[in-house]
Chains A and B, each alone.
Chain A
């Protein structure tokens, strides 16, 4: 019966959320190294991808919404933009969860990149509609690249919690 235990939300939702907030604040420091600024990846993409793969949850969408709202407030963007974009990515992962579970790391990395691209495309369209202007594709690409490189952290999170609740294998 130990396999049927439910996950502690503080551990699998709360801690990654806090880590995401922390590293987002850390990477927003106005530091230049050899004239170059730090990259600005969307760290919240990691839990949005991993949480959907670990197990379906009632709390996870609201945690993603909170993370998205934090990003909008902290970065000074339109409120709800990242919340909606991340939730869209989460929904797609939830939809194709059966296809993704148990896949090898490179295949999952491909899925992560595809979901990141989808979320950023959604953000691109929402921004276009909200600001009535076309964002720079190059700037979107750089942020996509920086975010796609975060997959090892998402894999670690999945690996850590995937078998914690055998009902959702």
Chain B
């Protein structure tokens, strides 16, 4: 029997009110999602299974969509380089001549640097392993600045790993799935990166705001920064290694110091993900584990306090006296019974 012919056939629900109720229910669900979201914590647990699934699905789809654009770009580059070979050759020759001078200068500085390091006994950090990845999707809105890279947990990528392109720091990994990882850019509103001004060592926090040039917050010191100063990561807090290039300082229209990111000077299609977790990984764990601690020696109160003080050395005589025979027990006694402190010179 059709519904309209039944006893409830005359029942008329005011659709406008029902739609309003549906709207309120949907809004309540959205509020619940927003309150439960812990994206700004940038913790591994906050990146749920739903997001991981979305990234895993989005990676091949976005990769396929981005491929024609990438091929077109490569084709345009090829045609451009073909037609402008002569002018490109002249430009490259001039650049090479300039680079030769810089190479000589770099070699001299490298040599000087090595000598200073050996003089000071400085221990430099070992190289950090990295993996390369291709960016397949890119969000550029004011409320989210992230990228999806096609390398994930199968290549050892973890939450917190810094991401660079050939010019500088791009951001860091905030979510990892199998085959894909979500990179939070330095420009995202949730991004906070400890940096320092290379010239003055002044510390600051690089704070994203959804625009192209993140702000420098909590700048310390008197006149710590000038226009064009190079900004690098400070390594404070152990989030990213020290010294990664970030950008150049500029004064914004709002009067605040901002950073023009080096990473923006090149397209961020290929990135390097540093497999850097924290500074503990820079130490040789095997060596730390196998290193044996020195034996614990305690002072013997009987020997140090209650024993009679040793007489001052007498004047040398022509007939040497026989050496005192050491007690037999001293050779077999445990280390704690031996008067170590009384005989050892103070350190």
List residues of A whose CB falls within 8 A of some B CB: 25-26, 28-32, 37, 40, 42, 56-62, 64-65, 68-69, 72-81, 83-84, 87-88, 90-91, 94, 123-124, 126-127, 130-136, 138-140, 142-143
- On whether the beta carbons of B137 and A131 are closer than 8 Å, the reply is no
Is B15 close to A, CB under 8 A?
A: yes
Is B135 close to A, CB under 8 A?
A: yes
In angstroms, Cα B61 to Cα A30, docked, is: 13
Q: Mind listing 7 A-B residue pairs with CB under 8 Å?
A: A30-B137, A76-B146, A77-B143, A80-B33, A83-B30, A83-B34, A139-B142
List residues of chain A with CB within 8 A of the CB of B182. Answer: 76
Known A29-B69, A76-B139; contact A126-B207, beta-carbon cutoff 8 A: no
Is B303 close to A, CB under 8 A?
A: no
List residues of chain A with CB within 8 A of the CB of B36. Answer: 79-80
Where chain A touches its partner, the secondary structure class is helix
- On whether the beta carbons of A140 and B65 are closer than 8 Å, the reply is no
List residues of chain B with CB within 8 A of the CB of A78. Answer: 34, 37, 39-40, 143-144
List residues of chain A with CB within 8 A of the CB of B16. Answer: 56
In angstroms, Cα B36 to Cα A134, docked, is: 21
- On whether the beta carbons of A30 and B27 are closer than 8 Å, the reply is no
In angstroms, Cα B73 to Cα A136, docked, is: 30
> Would you give the shortest CB distance from B302 to chain A, in whole angstroms?
65
- Name A58's contact: one of B22, B146, B210 (CB within 8 Å): B22
In angstroms, Cα B33 to Cα A57, docked, is: 23
Q: Which of B39, B51, B136 has the most CB of A within 10 A?
A: B39
Q: Which of B185-231 contact A (CB under 8 A)?
A: 189-190, 207-212
A-B contacts besides A60-B19, A61-B19, 8 pairs, CB < 8 Å: A28-B139, A29-B65, A59-B22, A61-B22, A65-B26, A76-B148, A130-B39, A139-B141
Known A25-B65, A78-B37; contact A87-B26, beta-carbon cutoff 8 A: yes
As a 0/1 sequence over residues 9 to 51 of chain B, the CB contacts with chain A under 8 angstroms (1 = contact) are 0000001101110110111011111111101100000000011
> Would you give the shortest CB distance from A22 to chain B, in whole angstroms?
9
In angstroms, Cα B189 to Cα A77, docked, is: 10
Interface residues on B, range: 35 or more
- Name B189's contact: one of A83, A88, A133 (CB within 8 Å): A133
> Would you give the shortest CB distance from B258 to chain A, in whole angstroms?
10
List residues of chain B with CB within 8 A of the CB of A132. Answer: 40
> Would you give the shortest CB distance from A23 to chain B, in whole angstroms?
11
> Would you give the shortest CB distance from B14 to chain A, in whole angstroms?
10
- On whether the beta carbons of A61 and B269 are closer than 8 Å, the reply is no
Is B268 close to A, CB under 8 A?
A: yes
List residues of chain B with CB within 8 A of the CB of A80. Answer: 30-37
Known A30-B136, A30-B267, A80-B37; contact A87-B143, beta-carbon cutoff 8 A: no
Is B140 close to A, CB under 8 A?
A: yes
As a 0/1 sequence over residues 116 to 137 of chain B, the CB contacts with chain A under 8 angstroms (1 = contact) are 0000000000000000000111
Q: Which of B23, B144, B209 has the most CB of A within 10 A?
A: B23
List residues of chain A with CB within 8 A of the CB of B27. Answer: 61, 84, 87-88, 91
- Name A40's contact: one of B54, B69, B135, B140 (CB within 8 Å): B140
- Name A94's contact: one of B19, B40, B190 (CB within 8 Å): B19
- On whether the beta carbons of A77 and B30 are closer than 8 Å, the reply is no
Is B184 close to A, CB under 8 A?
A: yes
Is B342 close to A, CB under 8 A?
A: no
- On whether the beta carbons of B142 and A135 are closer than 8 Å, the reply is yes
List residues of chain A with CB within 8 A of the CB of B30. Answer: 65, 68, 80, 83-84, 87
- Name A140's contact: one of B69, B174, B210 (CB within 8 Å): B210
List residues of chain A with CB within 8 A of the CB of B99. Answer: none
Which residue of chain A is the closest to B31 with respect to CB atoms? A84
8 closest A-B pairs (Cβ-Cβ)? A80-B33, A136-B211, A76-B146, A80-B34, A77-B144, A139-B142, A56-B19, A83-B30
- On whether the beta carbons of A74 and B34 are closer than 8 Å, the reply is no
List residues of chain A with CB within 8 A of the CB of B141. Answer: 40, 42, 75, 77, 139, 143
- On whether the beta carbons of A134 and B19 are closer than 8 Å, the reply is no
- On whether the beta carbons of B146 and A75 are closer than 8 Å, the reply is yes
- On whether the beta carbons of B39 and A77 are closer than 8 Å, the reply is yes
Is B138 close to A, CB under 8 A?
A: yes
- On whether the beta carbons of A127 and B33 are closer than 8 Å, the reply is no
- On whether the beta carbons of B29 and A123 are closer than 8 Å, the reply is no
In angstroms, Cα B70 to Cα A75, docked, is: 21
List residues of chain B with CB within 8 A of the CB of A127. Answer: 142-143, 189
List residues of chain B with CB within 8 A of the CB of A75. Answer: 139, 141, 143-144, 146
